[in-house]
Structure 1
């Protein structure tokens, strides 16, 4: 086997001892290999195979995810920049990331639960998805830094003038009754937060990001193979081990890249009445294809009374598939126009 890349990593333990390891990539007769090697104190080697196959792309996804996991455990590489982590960590966004990190480690759980309950009530009254009101990250920030005036609330990432005007008074009504030990502005976070704890948090975020990218890559590969084999959505759901919604969203991305998904779409829409399909298409023509909910409301009723709750997911699924056809048709019309 020819080794094409290797890096040495070390990790300090609670004592003066230092754990040493290597991550390596090799190639042999068209097969790529990726592995991790622990170098034990007595000189013995403990090898773990992370990947063996022909796909360089899949190897890279596994490499990034596995390496981020090891860095999160405290390993540090001899060769820096192995996935440009230093550029990201030292960027201007580092200060904001530290605010997020501290808030996840020091949030008031009771306050966070109360804010989540407020967000649910607001979302129901405004008929919006909860994340349109406030993201989980923002509620964590609020529950850690406990702003007691709107101007303090606006010092948190993700709070602009519009959000402060719409929801600021209600949020402050919840937080103002609580005591806090820190002050604004939040510059103290940057010195109080331990650098190693912050680095471990950053690499944990990377691990989650690369795990998601790896999952998406594998779903995409399985979908392409399954579509060529003539499989239906139920079979693809079993092969991918993912919810149908994620599979249909992946189909939209494949269509954007130029892959032909029409055979699968035709199969899945065969039991949808033609007049219903025409109504969805007409709604896209009138309302545009950016949002699905207005189309659902136009076709099935403003309050969704005509759609049983257990059928809403199926309706959205079919609307998404018709949107694929609609966008393809619009793209063809533009190209020949």
Structure 2
């Protein structure tokens, strides 16, 4: 095997003792491999093979995810740039990251639970998705830093003037009920937060990001292999451990990413008449493709849809919508 990348890493424990490891990428006759070696002494090491296969992109996803896990544990590289990307943010970006980090490391779960209950009630009353009211991250910031005035609320990222005007009074009713031990403005956060704790938090965020990217890559690969093998949507879903609805959601995302799903759509709609498919297409042209219910009512009506089965009807609508949106995107590119 030819080693094409090698880096040494070290980690210190609470007693100041240092341990060492190596991360490596190699290639032999078109087969890529990546792994981790932990050194236990002068000549002893434990090897952990992370990946072995022919796909460089797959290797890269696995490598980044596994390495982020190690760096979240405290390992630091001898040579920086192990993710082949910009490692650190600076300026205001880093200041915001440190606020998020501090709120994760020093949570106030009691206040956070009160805020999530408030958000849930508000979402029901306003008929909005909860994240439109406030994201989990914003509620975590509010629960930890406990602003007592509208001006202090505005110091938190994601809390603009509109949200303060709309929800500020109710939020302050919750936060002012709790004693706080830290002041505003929040300049002190950057000084109080230990650098190693911040770095480990950063790499934990990377690990989450790379895990999602790896899961998406693996699912894409599985779907494309299933299409190539002539498998049905149900059989691909069984291999991926996903329900049919989740599989169609994955197909919609893949089509948005530019991967043609037509062959699988054609197989899944083989038992749906051309007239029915044309009626669905025409309804999209007339009503738009954002909402499915108006299309369902125009094509089927409530009674016929119920007889056919609502799940089956909506599945057909979504499959045809993937094809419709793909065609719309192609027409725009040609135009």
- In structure 2, the CA distance between the partners of 1:84 and 1:143, relative to structure 1 (3 Å rule), is farther
Deviation by residue 1:7-47 (Cα, 9 ceiling, x = unmatched)? 00011122242101000111111111111111112531111
In structure 1, which of residues 286, 291, 295 is the aligned counterpart of residue 292 of structure 2?
295
Q: Secondary structure at the match of 1:93?
A: helix
How well do the aligned residues superpose, as a CA RMSD in angstroms?
Answer: 2.8
Is 2:61 the counterpart of 1:61? yes
Residues 66-105 of structure 1: pairs in structure 2 closer than 5 A? 66-83=66-83, 87-90=87-90, 92-105=92-105
Separation (CA, whole Å) in 2 of partners of 1:320 and 1:154: 41
- In structure 2, the CA distance between the partners of 1:143 and 1:245, relative to structure 1 (3 Å rule), is farther
| Farther off after superposition, 83-92 or 210-219 | 83-92
The aligned residue for residue 184 of structure 2 is: 184
Residues 106-121 of structure 1: pairs in structure 2 closer than 5 A? 106-121=106-121
Q: Secondary structure at the match of 2:74?
A: coil
Separation (CA, whole Å) in 2 of partners of 1:113 and 1:283: 44
Where does the alignment leave 5 or more consecutive residues of structure 2 unmatched? none
TM-score by length of 1: 0.87
- In structure 2, the CA distance between the partners of 1:71 and 1:315, relative to structure 1 (3 Å rule), is farther
The aligned residue for residue 214 of structure 2 is: 214
Deviation by residue 1:163-210 (Cα, 9 ceiling, x = unmatched)? 222222221122122221111111111111111111111100100110
The aligned residue for residue 202 of structure 2 is: 202
Is 2:312 the counterpart of 1:329? no
Per-residue deviation, 1:105 = 1.8
Separation (CA, whole Å) in 1 of partners of 2:314 and 2:105: 37
Q: Secondary structure at the match of 1:34?
A: strand
Does the 8 A contact of 1:8 with 1:23 survive in 2? yes
Separation (CA, whole Å) in 1 of partners of 2:43 and 2:334: 68
- In structure 2, the CA distance between the partners of 1:314 and 1:76, relative to structure 1 (3 Å rule), is farther
- In structure 2, the CA distance between the partners of 1:315 and 1:155, relative to structure 1 (3 Å rule), is farther
Separation (CA, whole Å) in 2 of partners of 1:241 and 1:34: 27
The aligned residue for residue 171 of structure 2 is: 171
Does the 8 A contact of 2:120 with 2:130 survive in 1? yes
- In structure 2, the CA distance between the partners of 1:319 and 1:169, relative to structure 1 (3 Å rule), is farther
Per-residue deviation, 1:324 = 1.1
Separation (CA, whole Å) in 2 of partners of 1:298 and 1:87: 47
Q: How many residues align?
A: 329
| Farther off after superposition, 68-77 or 33-42 | 33-42
Per-residue deviation, 1:262 = 2.3
Separation (CA, whole Å) in 2 of partners of 1:179 and 1:224: 55
Where does the alignment leave 5 or more consecutive residues of structure 1 unmatched? none
Residues 226-245 of structure 1: pairs in structure 2 closer than 5 A? 226-245=226-245
Separation (CA, whole Å) in 1 of partners of 2:131 and 2:287: 23
Separation (CA, whole Å) in 2 of partners of 1:234 and 1:121: 38
Separation (CA, whole Å) in 2 of partners of 1:138 and 1:313: 36
- In structure 2, the CA distance between the partners of 1:175 and 1:190, relative to structure 1 (3 Å rule), is same
Deviation by residue 1:269-319 (Cα, 9 ceiling, x = unmatched)? 467798886676456435544x4xx43366459xxx9899xx877666544
Does the 8 A contact of 1:283 with 1:295 survive in 2? no
Separation (CA, whole Å) in 1 of partners of 2:168 and 2:270: 49
The aligned residue for residue 129 of structure 1 is: 129
TM-score by length of 2: 0.87
Separation (CA, whole Å) in 2 of partners of 1:233 and 1:7: 42
